[in-house]
Structure 1
C-alpha cells in the first residue's frame, strides 16, 4: 500500500453544489492510476486548524498506521475525476455542504495546501460481452459517472440517470454517441432519495438483461433495496452489476451508534463476513437487512 503526499494546484467551482480541487506535486509523479472509471482513494486531511500540519500515515503490509507520537489524520474516501500523468495532476470533485472534514477542507482549499492519498482501487467492471449499461447515481457519484462515460466504447449503449439537488447542480457530461441522460432533482440529503425507484424503473422485473451491466452509487441506505432487486427479483449474477454506497445519512454518529450495539450483535454481524460463501452480494443483503432493522 502506497501513501502519497500532494499539494493543491488550483480550485474551481463547477456548480453551486460541487467544486473541483486539482492536486499536483509531492509524490504524485509516482502515482499509478488503475484506469478504472470509478477508481477511488482515501484522502488524508490535516488534523487541526493549521492547514499545513499534515500527519500522514506510513504504509504497512496490511494497510497503514499512524507514526508513534503523531495525531491520526482524518480520512475520507473520494473518487478520482481525472488523472493527467503529464503534468502530474489529479482532479477530485467535492460536494459542497455545511459539515464534514472533507467538505470544509475543500471549501477553503488554496494552492499549496498539502493532502495525502493512498493507491487507488476501482470497482466498475463490466463483462466482456456488455452491449448496454445503465449508470445511476446521486451527486456524490456524478464524478465517477462522468469518467466512466468518457471511457465507454462507442458501441455500448449507455443510459445515465442522475439525481442531483436541483437544476443548478446539473453539469455538462462527456459526449457519447449512444448515451441518453436523464436528470432528476431531489435526494442528496435534502429530501428522500429516489435512487431505488430510478433503478427499478430502469430495470423492471420483466427486463431482458442480456448483455446489460448496471453500475449505481450514492446514498448507502437508499441502495440497499436495489441490491435485493437485482439479485432476488431479477436474479442477476454479481458480475452484471455493481452497487456502491458512497455516503450514509448521519455518518457523524454512525460509529457511535454501531459501538452502542450489544457486543453479541456486533459479533454476529461481523461473523457474517467470515463464513464461506460463493457470492458476497448475498451476504451483503443479509448484513444490510440487519443494519436497517437496527436503525443503521
Structure 2
C-alpha cells in the first residue's frame, strides 16, 4: 500500500448535499480507469488550519503509522467516483452535513488544498455467470452506483434503487431506470432493509444474479442477516457494505469505553478459520447490537 500526496484541482457542487472534489497527483497514475466500480480509498486530512500541512503516514507491513513527532492526520474512507490516470486525476464525491472532519473540510475546499490518498480497494465482485443485478444504496452509495453502472456490460440487466433525503438531490445516472425513494440518510429511519426484501423477496431465483447494497452500517446489519440467514444466499451472490454510522464520533467513544476484555472478545470473533467471513460479520454485528453499539 502506498499513501500519495494529492492536490485539489477542482471543486464542483453537484447538489445541495453533495460536492465533487477532483484530486491531482503523480501517484494517481497508478489508479486504473477500469478499476472496480466501488473502489474505496482512505483520505488523510490536514490536522490544523493550514490546509496544505498534511502529516502523511508511513506505510508499514501492518498498515501505516504516523511519523515520529508529527500529529496524527484525521482519516476518513470514501469511494472513488471516477479515475483519469492519463491526467493523474480522481474524483471523490462528498456528502455534505453539518459536522465531521470531511464535511467541514470540503465546505471550504479550493484548488491547492492537500490531502493524503492511499491505493484503492474494490469490493464489488459479481459471479462469473452474472446476467442481472440489483444495486441498492442511500446517498453515500450514489457515487459507487454511478461508477458501477458505467462499468456494467450492456447485456447485464440492472435494477437500481436509491434512498435520498429528498427529490431535490436526485442526480442523473447512466444507462438505466432508477427507483428513487426518499427518507433515511440521517434524517429519519433508513428503509434499506425494507427496500432489499422487496427487491429480492423469499423464493427469488438467484441464478445469474447478484445483489450489492451500501449505506448506513446499522441498517445493513438487518440486510446482511436477511440475505445470508433467511435467503441463505452464498457470499458469491451478494455484497453488503456499511458506509457510515450515525454519530460516528460518539460510537467510537462508546466502543473505546468498553472493558478491555470485551474489546478483546470482539477482536477474537474474527479468528475462527472455519466460519465464512459473512457469518463472522453477522456474529460480530450481533454482539455489537447486544452491547448497544
What TM bracket, shorter-length normalisation? over 0.9
Which runs of structure 1 show a deviation greater than 3 angstroms over 4 or more consecutive aligned residues? 29-34
Aligned counterpart in structure 2 of residue 224 of structure 1, from 205, 221, 227: 221
1:2 and 1:123 mapped to 2: Cα distance?
A: 19
- Return the TM-score normalized by structure 1: 0.96
Rate the CA distance shift 1:18–1:106 in 2: closer, same or farther, 3 A: same
Q: Which residue of the partner structure matches residue 211 of structure 2?
A: 214
- Per the TM alignment, residue 34 of structure 1 is displaced from its structure 2 partner at its CA by 6.7
Q: What is the distance in 2 between the residues matched to 1:231 and 1:110?
A: 44
Is residue 33–residue 83 contact of structure 1 (8 Å, CA) maintained in 2? yes
2:182 equivalent in structure 1:
185
Name which of structure 1's ranges 27-36 and 270-279 shifts more when overlaid on structure 2. Answer: 27-36
Query: Would the aligned equivalents of 2:55 and 2:71 in 1 still touch at CA under 8 Å?
Result: yes
TM-aligned CA deviation for residue 109 of structure 1? 0.5
Alignment gaps of 5+ in structure 1: none
Q: CA deviation at 1:26?
A: 4.5
Equivalent position of 1:69 in the other structure: 69
Measured in 2, the distance between the counterparts of 1:85 and 1:165 equals 33
Q: Structure 1 residues 84, 189: closer, same or farther in 2, change over 3 A? A: same
Contact 2:269-2:284 within 8 A present in 1 as well: yes
How far apart are residue 64 of structure 1 and its match? 1.1
Range with bigger deviation, 74-83 or 275-284? 275-284
> Structure 1 CA distance, aligned partners of 2:274 and 2:74?
34
1:150-198 Cα deviation digits (max 9, x unpaired): 10001111010000100011100012xxx33100011000000000000
Whether the aligned pair in 1 keeps the contact of 2:52 and 2:114 (CA below 8 Å) is yes
Q: Distance in 1 between matches of 2:3 and 2:93?
A: 20
Report what 1:102 is aligned to: 102
How many Å apart are 1:42 and its aligned residue?
0.3
- For the 8 Å contact 1:8–1:24, the answer to whether it is kept is yes
**Per-residue Cα deviation, 1:124-162 (whole angstroms, up to 9, x for no partner):** 000110111000000000000000001000111101000
Q: Mark the CA change 1:62 to 1:111 in structure 2 (over 3 Å): closer, same or farther.
A: same
State the match for 1:289 in structure 2: 286
CA distance in 2, matches of 1:228, 1:209: 17
Aligned to 1:162: 162
Q: Is the 8 A contact 1:127 1:213 kept in 2?
A: yes
Aligned pair in 2 of structure 1 residues 119, 146: CA closer, same or farther (>3 Å)? same
Once residues 25 and 282 of structure 1 are traced to their aligned partners in structure 2, the CA distance between those partners, rounded to angstroms, is 39
SS of equivalent to 2:41: strand
Counterpart CA distance in 2 for 1:59 and 1:267 is 25
1:198 aligns with 2:195: yes
Report what 1:6 is aligned to.
6
The residue number in structure 1 matching 2:231 is 234
The structural deviation recorded for 1:58 is 1.2
Which digits, 9 at most, give the CA deviation of each residue in 1:66-114, with x for residues without a partner?
1100111000000000000121110000001110101111111110101
1:44–1:74 Cα contact (<8 Å) kept? yes
Structure 2: how far apart are the matches of 1:77 and 1:199?
24
Q: Secondary structure at the residue paired with 1:10?
A: strand
